[in-house]
Amino acid sequence: MEIILYDEGTAQELDIEEIARYLAQKMGKVRVEVRGNPFAFNLSQDKVSDYARKIAGTKIQEVSQKILSGQEPLYGEIEYEKRRILGKTRSFGILYDGFHLLRIFCEIMSREESSLEFVHIFFTNRLFATWDDSNKRYHLRTSVYGIPSIISTTGLVEAPAKPREYYLLKQQYERLGKDLTELKDRFRESIIDYEDKRLTEVTKGYAMQAVFYSLTGAPFCEDKGCRLYNAHWQEELIFAQLWGEYEFCGRHTRILEGLRKK
Ligand SMILES: [Zn+2]
């Protein structure tokens, strides 16, 4: 097995080398490679324009409207994505369809490395959502697992809900024109924020979910203290990733021990 990590715009927030060392330590004899910008091997002008157009086509305009694959983006949107691919601008305020994005990232992977022996993980700061047919709207996601898996640093901040009290106080702060940093400091124990020093540590658990998806098809665990727990609240995320008494539940610890012995 080989794990390949890509950095799609998270350099300022994540220490991917540290995540690679963590995975190597947990998984035993697997090779873990840090590959940096996934577009770096494909940087001919044509290719850049092609990917830029495809990525711009995955932009969600309206959360209650499912986007169709291959929707035709505007010129300005394509130009923006070109700059984004080349690392000349940061992604902010744009919402993408997670599964459409996954398909585009899949195209970037080399054919020789598309077997199940390889686990590809893209770390991105793009914010994405997936369509929920039961209530006909998009929901923000921290990650989508598949070939490849995508983990969003912006999603880790935005997708799991913050404590209800936080939202109530935020309204109050905004009404009074008070500085939100103070509020965020008050809730430091129960929310993850942008440029949070803990993001790398938190992301390790999500990288393990991606690995478990590849190994077993099941990325999540029911145990709230296990790093594979699928947190819907920021407090749950912090507990599973940072504060739990153990890293993995008994069952997942045994699976990992078994892998290291191989
Ligand atoms: Zn578990």
Q: What is the pLDDT of residues 211-220, one digit of tens each?
A: 999 999 999 9
Domain with 31 in it: what CATH number?
3.40.390.10
Distance 86 CA to ligand 1 centre (A): 38
Nearest-5° angle of CA 71, CA 72, CA 78?
Answer: 120
**96 and 59 in contact (C-beta within 8 Å)?**
yes
* Pick from 237, 78, 57: nearest CA to 142: 237
What global pTM score does this model have? 0.95
Average pLDDT along the chain: 92
What per-residue confidence (pLDDT) applies to 66?
92
Distance 255 CA to ligand 1 centre (A): 10
What per-residue confidence (pLDDT) applies to 46?
82
Residues found in the chain: 262
Question: Structural domain of residue 144, as residue ranges?
Answer: 2-261
The DSSP symbol for 143 reads E
Distance 222 CA to ligand 1 centre (A): 7
Distance 229 CA to ligand 1 centre (A): 7
Residue 86, number of CB atoms within 10 A of its CB: 14
The amino acid that residue 71 corresponds to is Q
Over residues 242-256, the pLDDT tens digits come to: 998 999 999 999 999
Distance 32 CA to ligand 1 centre (A): 22
| DSSP of 66-127 | PPPTT----HHHHHHHHHHHTTSS---S-EEEHHHHHHHHHHHS-GGG-STTEEEEEEE--E
Distance 239 CA to ligand 1 centre (A): 13
What per-residue confidence (pLDDT) applies to 262?
77
Residues 6+ apart with CB under 8 A from 232: 160, 161
Our count of domains for the chain comes to 1
* Pick from 194, 171, 169: nearest CA to 183: 169
Tell me which residue has tokens 């499912």: 66
